């Protein structure tokens, strides 16, 4: 049975699928009482909420003063390494290279056009007001990275590894995170409509005030993932994956279809 809850109150849990008898019938089917189920769910919610309260993203550790780097005409080659610089107000385009590394770098007002950086490594990097739409960063490794006020429409992070990454106020519709491994990652005030998280690993990942409509989450375990502050009409997920996901009562009605339930007014 999936544990779909939104608040740390037993009375809300009992009413989350609108009809109390729905819960009672389900409980009888698995030989437990509704009170036992409610207390178990309540304990899980409190445990998860405590974890989320202490979730902290390690932000990039970058010196206040960085030298400006002229980058627009530079040809990037395999395994190039760039560190301690600020790249701003330019276009990086028609570039293809593998295992490029940026360490302690700030990108500001930079447009990435027709860029393919497979196995890119980003450590202590900040993107501000950048356009990374359709950039191909498959199998990238990102550690302590902040992406703020950026367009990441259709960005490809297939098989990427993300650690301590913050997406803040980003437009990331149709972004690809398939098979990505995400730990200590936060999506805040962002749009991820039609984004693809198929078979991704989400550990200590937080979605807040974001648009998740039509997001693909099949094959991705959602235990402990809180979606209550997010908006979506429909998401793609399997009944096995949704166990332990935290949703609002309104969102729970939509999820009830996974159980074959019919909600009556």
Q: Is residue 51 part of a domain?
A: no
pLDDT tens figures, 87-139: 999 999 999 999 999 999 999 999 999 999 999 999 999 999 999 999 999 99
Q: Is residue 42 part of a domain?
A: no
**Phi, psi (5° rounding) for residue 28?**
-60, -35
Instruction: Let me know: does 45 contact 7? Beta carbons within 8 Å.
Output: yes
Using alpha carbons, list the distances in angstroms from residue 203 to 16, 181, 225, 240, 260: 25, 8, 9, 17, 28
Q: Is residue 177 part of a domain?
A: yes
Q: Is residue 20 part of a domain?
A: no
pLDDT tens figures, 148-182: 999 999 999 999 999 999 999 999 999 999 999 99
Radius of gyration of the chain (CA): 21
Enter the pTM of the model: 0.79
Domain region containing 237: 77-259
Q: Is residue 63 part of a domain?
A: no
CATH number, position 226: 2.160.20.80
Q: Is residue 72 part of a domain?
A: no
Q: Is residue 46 part of a domain?
A: no
Q: Is residue 264 part of a domain?
A: no
Tally of domains in the chain:
1
């Amino acid at each position: 049975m999936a544990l779909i809850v939104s608040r740390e109150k037993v009375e809300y849990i009992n009413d989350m699928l609108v009809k109390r008898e729905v819960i009672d019938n389900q409980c009888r089917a698995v030989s437990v009482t509704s009170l036992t189920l409610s207390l178990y769910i309540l304990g899980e919610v409190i445990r998860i909420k405590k974890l989320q309260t202490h979730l902290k993203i390690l932000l990039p550790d970058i010196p206040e003063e960085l030298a400006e780097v002229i980058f627009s005409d530079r040809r990037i080659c395999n395994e190039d390494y760039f560190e301690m610089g600020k790249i701003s107000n330019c276009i990086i385009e028609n570039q293809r290279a593998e295992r490029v590394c940026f360490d302690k770098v700030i990108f500001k007002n930079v447009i990435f056009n027709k860029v393919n950086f497979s196995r890119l490594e980003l450590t202590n990097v900040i993107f501000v007001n950048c356009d990374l739409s359709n950039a191909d960063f498959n199998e990238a490794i990102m550690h302590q990275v902040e992406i703020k006020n950026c367009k990441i429409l259709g960005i490809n992070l297939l098989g990427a590894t993300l650690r301590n990454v913050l997406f803040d106020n980003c437009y990331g519709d149709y972004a690809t995170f398939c098979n990505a491994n995400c730990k200590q990652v936060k999506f805040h005030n962002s749009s991820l409509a039609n984004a693809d998280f198929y078979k991704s690993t989400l550990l200590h990942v937080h979605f807040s005030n974001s648009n998740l409509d039509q997001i693909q989450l099949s094959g991705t375990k959602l235990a402990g993932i809180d979606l209550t502050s997010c908006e979506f009409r429909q998401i793609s997920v399997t009944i096995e994956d949704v166990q332990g996901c935290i949703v609002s009562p309104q969102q729970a009605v939509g999820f009830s279809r996974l159980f074959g339930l019919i909600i009556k007014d």
